[in-house]
Chains A and B, each alone.
Chain A
Amino acid sequence: MIKRIALSTAAVSALVAGPALATDITLGVLNDQSGVYADLSGQGSVVAAQMAVADFDAAGKGINVNIISADHQNKPDIASNIARQWYDQDGVDAILDVPTSSTALAVADVTAEFGKVFINSGAATSDLTRANCQPTTIHWTYDTAALANGTGKAVTEAGGDTWFFLTADYAFGHALERDTTAVVEASGGEVLGSVAHPFPGTDFSSFLLQAQASGAKVIGLANAGADTVNSIKQASEFGIVQGGQKLAGLLLFINNVHSLGAQTAQGLQMTTAFYWDMNDDTRAFSERFKEEMGSPPSMVQAGVYAGTLHYLKAVEAVGSDDAEAIVATMKEMKTDDPLFGEGYIRKDGRVIHDMYLMEVKSPEESTGEWDLLKEVATISGEDAFLPMEDGGCAFALAD
């Protein structure tokens, strides 16, 4: 008892003696810690958030940041229960990351209900800033529309004008198929058909044979993670590429390319918001990250870092944990960080930054285990993401 009193007295005197009243912030990293997306988000995202707090020198600026994390197992019901408990009982101010589109949509609604902040990095669906947009949602890294505008457009314009989709049968797969179809058709291509496969799946040969029989020039893989890895592996086994059809992996992460190996993945094009080997800043960050995690950061983990950094800047500017003011400030301030460069946040919550069309190097070009990609083109943020007017986000278009 005496010890506790002594401690709180010390805390109070520290507060009084400090330059300003400290702001207490609790950040919750909610993602897949054990399933298919654990490597590209998971513990690495927690580390990224911690690095952002350290780099911002939050403590020196009078902001006490506490980071907690949980595993949502890619299930929307679990995700919304954790979010509810975090906001309601654990004093969480903002939730970060949340891969898997279905869980992200659930967390976006819970966040709006509690009037907190949701900075999404891991989820793909563009619906987070379209029909299901919320004033409290910031969507940082990428979305299905940007993926379509990168890989989908490049492949169609290179002559791949007939498509067949292998689609993961949940919110993400359908959003990606929808957005890519729009881009393919706008670029003069045609979609011949699609097949929805269970998520997660193991054997894709049945679906690949259906895609082969469709005669489409391009087989679009509207899936992610291990599903994409298995689809590509098995397509090469069934001689689909040798047969003249082209594969378009619409969402590939660096971890997936590493898992496939340059031998199998070489020549594949992919769209990404971040690659570790782009400039000195990204290399320096990735080197530090790699020391902690053993692999360079994925674009999702990089997005968690950048999002946290921008959030903390807004907290400093506002000087309190007032969520509404923080979001307003985040949208007012330009974004600027070592990993994504300069950009801005649109009213609907969409972060606008450059995207990159990359190609997987051949084994001869690759000089190291993680030296896997080379840049084909930079796509400006305005071209990559869907214009706000076309998105149908009600509150952003209201005034």
Chain B
Amino acid sequence: MFELLGIPPQVLLGQLLIGLINGSFYAVLSLGLAVIFGLLNIINFAHGAQYMMGAFVAWMLLSYGGIGYWPALFLAPVIVGVIGIALERVLIARLYKLDHLYGLLLTFGLALIIQGLFRNYYGVSGLPYQIPSALQGGQNLGFMFLPNYRGWVIVASVIVCFGTWFMIEKTRLGANLRAATENPELVGAFGVNVPRMITLTYGFGVALAAFAGVLAAPIYSVNPNMGADLIIVVFAVVVIGGMGSIMGSILTGFGLGVIEGLTRVFYPEGSAVVIFVIMAIVLMIKPEGLFGKSA
């Protein structure tokens, strides 16, 4: 068998697959950011906190209500999405006419408040959440042992990502949305309720973050800081893919997951920075991002 730089091929295949799994989280999270930025022009820094809320709501449903993983996969995004809608109506909607920076600062402040509240009530050590019984165990693929749950993470993210892409790029609803961001007055004149559509879009983007949170709950520690660590990386993914590009954020999400995974084999110390190095290079060569439209 051939070896690449001293790494046996089965190890490499395993790492590629792991990279793809991590990429799934990047893809779903950066997709939510891209939807919100692309259609609302808001840089949603509260995305990491909303991802964390998704995981916490799943935990709360189980602990306080005895509601398990599968209903939570649907309920938690709805609940967090509604909270997102309330925030949009009360606070964010007031900022659409102002510079991007105000939206960024507001959502960043919201993220700190939300994380602080959860930290105050639940501490930072994390809460236990088991993998649903139907997805316990795993498959021996020959080159690695793939836990069933991780396989499910890839499948679920791919479905959600491409479903979202299809809805926005290929359906009448998506066409209305895109038109409303180009020229809200004109679309409003055709009888479309533009503010309501924008509110629902924000809610949908937030729900995507919460969905990723529920996916993450059984495998990562459910703690108030879980989103804060991830959000910076996800922003880098969005910048590399091109701000607001739906397909760009999906593809770069998965792609960067794989690159990061390979870095963990060849130079583990660099795995925390590799995405930012790529971001710097992309910004120098193609400032609008790999899939972005030049302004």
Contacts and interface: CB of A to CB of B under 8 A. Distances in A.
A202 B220 contact: yes
Interface in A223-238: 225-226, 229-230, 233-234, 237-238
A7 B127 CA distance: 50
Interface in A241-266: 243, 255-256, 258-261, 263-264
A295 B138 CA distance: 36
- The contact size tier of chain A is 35 or more
B219 interface: yes
B225 interface: yes
B109 interface: no
Contacts of A203: 18, 22, 220
A206 B22 CA distance: 10
B71 interface: no
B11 A259 contact: no
A196 interface: yes
Contact of B131 (A226, A237, A243): A237
B18 A260 contact: no
A295 B265 CA distance: 39
A198 B147 contact: no
A205 interface: yes
B142 to A, nearest CB: 14
B138 A239 contact: yes
B229 A263 contact: no
A287 interface: no
B220 A259 contact: no
Given A226-B221, A230-B221, A263-B130, A202 B124 contact: no
A39 B124 contact: yes
Nearest to B272: A198
Interface string B18-39: 1101100000000000000000
B128 interface: yes
Contacts of B178: none
Contacts of B47: none
A207 B219 contact: no
A261 B222 CA distance: 13
Interface of B: 8, 11, 14-15, 18-19, 21-22, 116, 119, 123-128, 130-131, 137-138, 144-145, 147, 149-150, 219-221, 223, 225-226, 229-230, 261, 264-265, 268-269, 271-272
26 contacts: A36-B124, A169-B269, A197-B264, A197-B268, A198-B271, A201-B272, A202-B229, A205-B18, A206-B264, A206-B268, A209-B18, A210-B264, A213-B8, A226-B124, A226-B125, A226-B221, A230-B221, A237-B131, A237-B149, A237-B219, A255-B123, A259-B125, A259-B126, A260-B128, A263-B128, A295-B123
What are the nearest 8 A-B pairs in CB distance?
Answer: A198-B272, A206-B264, A261-B128, A39-B125, A255-B125, A259-B126, A259-B125, A39-B123
